[in-house]
Structure 1
Amino acid sequence: MRFLSIKGLVPFDKMAELQKRLVDLRSSGAIDDTVLFLEHEPVITHGRGLQQPGVRAGHFNYVGRDISSRFVTPTMSLPDWIEYSETERGGGLTYHGPGQLVIYPIIKLNVKSIAAYLRKLERIVVEEVASYGLENVNARLGATGVWVGERKIASIGIAVTRWTSFHGIAINVVNELDPFYLISPCGFDPSVMARLFDLLSGQSQTQLSLGWRRRLESSLARRFAREFSQAS
């Protein structure tokens, strides 16, 4: 298994194309399982779930900046600085942006069970978030993702083709949460969304803010390698 850390802010559509190329290579056996770590430019994405795309009326002011909106769909106008993309992953609407760690595992699933694969991803994130000393870190049946108490800290939405996975995980670390108020993220009220920085205190916050990507990526890479060292 190899791990690639992509620096800077990556456009969502550009990364979607790269994932498809990597899926082709992994499916043919040309490359090993590959896990991508990155941050996206601000974007709202809509998966294959039943949730209809649309904005929450009256919430543009939550973003805290001067904006001009643009028409995107019959039910959605977005600020000019946020892109919009339809995607083949599972799930509904969500937001990606700077300060949020996005993880795209391109993995050949030896155990042909999407549910089992999702549970592995949840377990990796639960263990990582709990390692910061937080209590009641959990995954919920019927609400894929990772929660700390009643707050959602990570979203998970995947796609699988030829039993090779793509798309994946988004962990809120130090990103702005205001853009979630433009939508109902995965059907939930946006107030449930949380970020790791706010759930920590004192020295833990300071440590997280200093080189958070390096620390998280290094730890998550070890967890991925261990979780998928057995049949995946």
Structure 2
Amino acid sequence: MIQIREKGLQDYTTIWKEMVSFTNSRNAETPDEIWLLEHYSVFTQGLTGRSENLLEETDISVIQSDRGGQITYHAPGQLIVYCLIDIKRLGIGIKKMVSLIEQSIIDLLEEYSISTHKVSGAPGVYVDGSKIAALGLKVRHGRTYHGLSLNIDMDLSPYKLINPCGFRDLNVTQMSNLTDNTLKLSEIKKQLTRHLSNYVSRT
């Protein structure tokens, strides 16, 4: 049974340390957890991130993270879903876990009549070539942490200061620009965690 934790609005470094502590202390019987939250405005750079992907100086903090991937942006109005999953216990690899997360986002967006697609070699979910959800995981002792970010209704302008996920001229979009539906964060959380929990439980 996956435990769902509501974490609210969080400082990036604080919640990152919590994820590392949880992952280091868990054992073979520890239930998997999904953490739902938002972050204060911050750029995060993945393990293979290149400094040139930050295009200009900014007052927004840039944090070197231990997740996979390049640079991305977090801020209120973006849903963060951290996936603390024992993939070794599930008998799946990291590529399968990434695929499950992507499909969960795709299923959610279909409920809002938003047509999406994947891009080969570029994890995440896209709408007409624009990125709406980013993905980056870390695996330690067969257990994942970090996860996904889904743009819902946020200020997208800071993305102009970076090459999002390391891709030059990549446009970024969000749900509020793509649907006339009323967007309730509480409902989106329920829908996305339902899809993700179902996929993980069925593996």
TM-score bin (small chain): over 0.9
Residues 222 and 84 (structure 1), Cα distance of their counterparts in 2 relative to 1, 3 Å cut:
same
Partner of 2:143: 164
Give 1:72's aligned residue: none
SS at match of 2:186: helix
Gaps of 5+ in 2: none
User: Alignment partner of 2:101: what SS?
Assistant: helix
CA distance in 1, matches of 2:53, 2:97: 30
**Are 2:82 and 1:104 aligned?**
yes
Alpha-carbon deviation of 1:31?
2.8
Paired residues for 1:1-232 under 5 Å: 1-7=2-8, 9-26=9-26, 28-29=27-28, 31-57=30-56, 77-79=57-59, 82-109=60-87, 110-135=90-115, 137-189=116-168, 192-201=171-180, 204=181, 207-208=182-183, 212-231=184-203
The answer to whether the 8 A contact 2:83-2:144 is kept is yes
Cα RMSD over matched residues?
1.5
Structure number with larger C-alpha Rg: 1
**TM-score computed with the length of structure 2 as normaliser:** 0.93
5+ residue gaps, structure 1, are 58-76
The percent identity for this pair of structures is 25
Whole-Å Cα distance in 2 between the matches of residues 20 and 114 of structure 1?
18
Query: Could you tell me how far 1:125 is from its partner in structure 2?
Result: 0.6
Question: Matched residue of 1:222: which SS?
Answer: helix
Offset, 1:113: 1.2
Work out the CA distance in 2 between the residues paired with 1:122 and 1:5. Answer: 21
Question: 3-state DSSP class of the match of 1:216?
Answer: helix
Q: How many residues align?
A: 200
Tell me, in whole angstroms, the C-alpha distance in 2 between the residues paired with 1:22 and 1:176: 31
Amino acid at match of 1:88: D
Q: 1:54 to 1:141 in 2, by over 3 A?
A: closer
Report the Cα offset of residue 30 of structure 1: 5.4
Segment of structure 1 superposing worse, 221-230 or 13-22: 221-230
Letter in 1 for 2:174: R
Q: In structure 1, what residue type is equivalent to 2:177? A: D
Distance, in Å, in 1 between the alignment partners of 2:111 and 2:53 is 36
TM-score under structure 1 normalisation? 0.82
1:33–1:218 Cα change, 3 Å: same
For 2:77 and 2:168, locate their aligned partners in 1 and report how far apart those are by CA, in whole Å.
21
Q: Supply the AA of the counterpart residue of 2:5.
A: L
Whether the aligned pair in 2 keeps the contact of 1:25 and 1:31 (CA below 8 Å) is no
Contact between 1:47 and 1:92, CA under 8 Å: does it hold in 2?
Answer: yes
Contact 1:51 1:186 in 2 (8 A): no
